Amino acid sequence: MEEQPRRRTDEQPRRRSEEPLLKEDFEVPAVGWMWEPNTAAATKSSLKSANIKAKKSLGQNFCTDDQILADIVTAARVAPSDVVIEVGPGTGNLTRHLLATRARVLAVEKDDTLIERLREEFKQVPNLQLVHGDVMRLDLKALVAQMAAAAAAAAQLDSQASSNEPQQEQQQQQQQLQQPPPPEQQQQPADESSSSISSSRSSSSAAPAKQRRRGVKVVANLPYNITKEFLQAMLPQGGVVSELSIMIQEEVAHRLVDPTPGRPDYRAMSLITHYYSKPVYRFLIPKEKYFPVPGVDGALVTFKLLPPSKRVQVSGERGFISLINKAFSERRKMMRNTLQPLYTPQQVEAALQKAGVRPDARAQDLDVEQFAAVYNNLQAEQIAAVSAVQQ
C-alpha cells in the first residue's frame, strides 16, 4: 500500500522550537496499526480491519479530524519538552499530535485492547509512557507528582542551557576578536565596528530571559459521563498542574465557563470551577467529527489552574467547598434555610449582611467572592460563639 503523507502540526504556530529535549530526538511512527494510514480520518477503517468496536460502556468516541486535533494541541500551548498527561488516548490520534511537539507524554488508557495497539504503534517512541488503568481509580496525586518531578527536571535543563548561552557567546566573540577581520569589515569606519562589538558584549552580559512557569499539562478527550468527577479530582491540583485542556459536552462547557450568578443553569460546579481556575471556552467540536458519532456536540475548554496563593482566600478550603455544595443542594431556597443545621438562620443572615448580600439570598445569587466572604463570616461567628461559651 502506498504510504499517504500524514498531516503535521507544522502549520500551527510553534513555540520554543530550539529547546533541548529530555531524551534524544525521535520520529513519530509514520504508519498506524495494521499499516493503516497514520491519520485520524483512518480511525473507522483501522478499527474495522482489526475487528474492534468502540465500547459504549467506556464512553468511547474518537476524534477523526486532524485539523481539530492540531488546534487542540495549539490551544493547550504544548511546547517542546513540556510534560503532558493525556487521559484516554484511545486510538492515538491526539497522542501523535502531542508527540509531534516533542513534548514528554504520559498517556492513561483503560481499554485492554487499545492499550496493546498503542504499545505496538509507539514502541519506538522514548518520550511516551503508557499506563494501563482507569484514571479515576489511579492515585492521581502520585501520578501528577511523578510528572511534576519530570517537569522540574526539564525546567532545570532549560535553566542550565540559558545560563550557558552568555558564556558560549562571549567565548565566540573572543575568538572572533583574535582573528583578523575580513576585507569588507576592514573598510568600515572604526566607530561602526566598535559599536557593533560593544552592542554584542552588552547583549551577552544581559540577564537570561525570565523562565516561564513550568507545570504539568493535562489534555483529555473525556467520556462525558465522568467530566464532573474528573474535574473535582484535577481542579485542586493547581500547585503542580498548570492547565487542563479537555473536550467535554458543549452545554456543560458553557455552564462551567460563564461565571454570572442567577442563571438558570448556575450550579455548584460552576462556582467551584471559578474558585480553582480561570476557564476559557476555546471552540466547538461538531459531533460529526467523532466516531462513533455521539448524541451532542463537544467543545474544548482550557482551565488555567490557580495555585493556592492565587485563589480567593478562605479560612478553610474543605469547609468552603462543603458550604457551596450544601447551599446548592436546594439552590432555590434561601441560604438561611438550606445551611441548617450547620448554622442557625440568625448566623447566616448576619454573615450575609456583613458580606453585603441580601439576607434572603439564594445560593444561585452569589459569585465566588461573595460565597467566600459569607463563609469567612460564618467561621468568625462560630469562633466568637465558642469563645463566649468558654468565658
- Does residue 270 sit in helix, strand or coil? helix
Taking alpha carbons only, the member of 250, 222, 228, 221 closest to residue 73 is 221
Q: Are 102 and 24 spatial neighbours (Cβ–Cβ below 8 Å)?
A: no
> Alpha carbon of 24 to those of 20, 27, 125, 208, 312: distances in Å?
9, 10, 10, 25, 42
- CB atoms under 10 Å from CB of 341, counted, come to 5
Is position 134 annotated in a ligand binding site? yes
> Alpha carbon of 242 to those of 238, 302, 346: distances in Å?
6, 10, 41
Is position 295 annotated in a ligand binding site? no
> What is the bridge-based pairing of β-strands 216-221 and 83-87?
parallel
Sequence-ordered list of residues with C-beta below 8 angstroms from that of 210, at least 6 positions apart, any chain? none
Q: Are 26 and 124 spatial neighbours (Cβ–Cβ below 8 Å)?
A: yes
Is position 325 annotated in a ligand binding site? no
Is position 88 annotated in a ligand binding site? yes
How would you label 305-330 residue by residue, b for 16+ Cβ within 10 Å and e otherwise? bbeeeebbebeeeeebbebbebbbee
- Say which DSSP state 194 is in: H
- Which residue is it, cell 499530535? 97
- What is the C-alpha separation between 319 and 245, in angstroms, rounded? 28
- Which residue is it, cell 500551548? 77
Cα-flanking dihedrals φ and ψ of residue 128, to 5°?
Answer: -120, 125
- What is the C-alpha separation between 344 and 322, in angstroms, rounded? 16
- Which residue is it, cell 450544601? 326
- What is the C-alpha separation between 283 and 257, in angstroms, rounded? 12
List binding-site positions: 61, 88, 109, 134, 221
- Which parts are annotated binding residues for S-adenosyl-L-methionine? 61, 88, 109, 134, 221
